[in-house]
Amino acid sequence: MLLKELLSTERQGTHPEGPGQPLPALFSNRPPASKGTSELAGFPPRRYCGRCSRFFPIGALFVSFRTRLTSPAVIMILPPLFWAGNAIAGRMAVGQLPPIALAFWRWLFALLIVLPFGLPKMMAQWNEVRHRWKVLALIALFSVTAYNTLLYVALTSTTAVNATLVSAAIPVAIVLLSWLWLGEKVGLSQSLGIAISLSGVVLVITRGDPGNLQTLGLEPGDFWVLAAVVSWAIYSVLLRRYPPGLSPLALLTVQMILGWLFLTPFYLWELTTGQAFLLTVQSAGLIAFVAIFPSILAYHLWNQGVASLGANLAGQYTYLIPIFTALLAVFFLDEPFRWFHAAGLVTIIGGIRLASKS
């Protein structure tokens, strides 16, 4: 059903405002928003439903609730949630799936799911793909090939706490790179929002005691996570600086094809090292999960979010990844949920709201 909804939005055509403007919504069948709208492309505009409220006083309230539920602020929470699940899956895969093998089979499975729907869209815009192949190759390299592979490699040689701490630098890296590369200004409210959100992450990682920072030692995997952070920042800024001009499904298809091709030589090298791939029910389930949620859905929503909100604001939502990771760990890794998790969640959301006012 999710792929059918994604495909149905593609049939509405290219956005009339030209390259870089996302297509209409994954969650809406309405036409594109008019020029000047502040709504995230692909999400329902704020409209008043007179027919509902004419007969039911609660009708307008229901429509308002539905509009808020599908607003950019809510929808952009989904990619961090899916990527938190990706981190949990990466930790569960240690000992069953080598890191590059997990990335390789993840993207191959995701590509096989998307290809029947995305290939016709990609071919319909082939001239645009051929014209922008260099930018598309870089986007695929720093997103599909590099980021998740580096994260999976890191999880084999560092603790989850350290990996979360280092990955919390993603929004800061995006802001700095946007400032250096794009010349985007960083306002006071955005700076304060970044600081507040980062403090919420530190609160969770230190378990409510800042003194615990002194006991955190750097592991080799921490540097792999840092490389992943830089890779994701470059990818996000590339989307903003050089909008591909493709429909969301066509862009996702190109990303997967190129990213998987770039990943293949590294997987072949991993095979020569003797690292075995154990096919079990759990490993197959992990591959299926990371192929659908962190790959297809998360990347589609993230591409639209960056194109409409900008790299800086969209980057603030990545602060939610360690919080969601802690929540998911309660159910899948038997880790307890404590007061500092709740406090960190409130702090991070508050920082995101403040940053969004800039």
Is the pTM higher than 0.95? The answer reads no
Q: Are 155 and 222 in contact (CB under 8 A)?
A: no
Do residues 241 and 132 share a domain? yes
Instruction: For residue range 222-234, list pLDDT tens digits in order.
Output: 788 889 988 988 9
Do residues 59 and 102 share a domain? no
Q: What are phi and psi of 77, to 5 degrees?
A: -75, -25
Q: Is residue 243 part of a domain?
A: yes
Q: Is residue 83 part of a domain?
A: yes
Question: Mean pLDDT across the chain, nearest whole number?
Answer: 75
Q: Is residue 16 part of a domain?
A: no
Q: Are 345 and 226 in contact (CB under 8 A)?
A: no
Q: Is residue 132 part of a domain?
A: yes
Burial class (CB in 10 A: 0-12, 13-18, 19+), 315: buried
Decide which of 55, 75, 95 is a domain's last residue.
Answer: 75
Q: Is residue 17 part of a domain?
A: no
Supply the pLDDT for residue 256: 92
Task: Give the residue-averaged pLDDT of 17-36.
Answer: 38
Do residues 329 and 207 share a domain? yes
| Residue-by-residue DSSP string for 90-123 | HHHHTTTS-HHHHHHHHHHHHHHHHHHHHHHHHH
pLDDT bracket for residue 67 (50, 70, 90): low
Supply the pLDDT for residue 319: 77
DSSP-derived secondary structure letter, 293: I
**Angle in degrees, 0-180, between the axes of helices 78-93 and 320-332, rounded to the nearest 10:** 50
Supply the pLDDT for residue 254: 93
Instruction: For residue range 35-45, list pLDDT tens digits in order.
Output: 444 444 444 44
Supply the pLDDT for residue 202: 76
Do residues 208 and 227 share a domain? yes
Q: Are 320 and 77 in contact (CB under 8 A)?
A: yes
Taking the C-alpha atoms of residue 89 and residue 83, their distance in angstroms, rounded to an integer, is 10
Do residues 54 and 194 share a domain? no
Q: Is residue 31 part of a domain?
A: no
Do residues 193 and 71 share a domain? no
> Is a pLDDT exceeding 90 seen at residue 146?
yes
Beta strand ranges found along 72-217 (DSSP E):
none
Do residues 201 and 181 share a domain? yes
Do residues 166 and 286 share a domain? yes
Task: Give the residue-averaged pLDDT of 238-247.
Answer: 78
> Is a pLDDT exceeding 50 seen at residue 156?
yes
pLDDT bracket for residue 165 (50, 70, 90): low
Do residues 53 and 111 share a domain? no
DSSP-derived secondary structure letter, 137: H
Supply the pLDDT for residue 91: 82
Supply the pLDDT for residue 216: 62
Beta strand ranges found along the chain (DSSP E):
none
**How many C-beta atoms lie closer than 10 Å to residue 203's C-beta?**
22
pLDDT bracket for residue 68 (50, 70, 90): low
> Is a pLDDT exceeding 70 seen at residue 53?
no
Q: Lowest-confidence range among 212-226, 264-278, 318-332?
A: 212-226
Do residues 224 and 297 share a domain? yes
Do residues 252 and 330 share a domain? yes
Q: Is residue 247 part of a domain?
A: yes
Instruction: For residue range 171-204, list pLDDT tens digits in order.
Output: 778 877 888 777 777 778 778 877 887 787 777 7
Number of independent structural domains in the chain: 2
Do residues 53 and 124 share a domain? no
Range of the domain at 63: 45-75
> Is a pLDDT exceeding 60 seen at residue 65?
no
Q: Is residue 262 part of a domain?
A: yes
Taking the C-alpha atoms of residue 26 and residue 18, their distance in angstroms, rounded to an integer, is 19
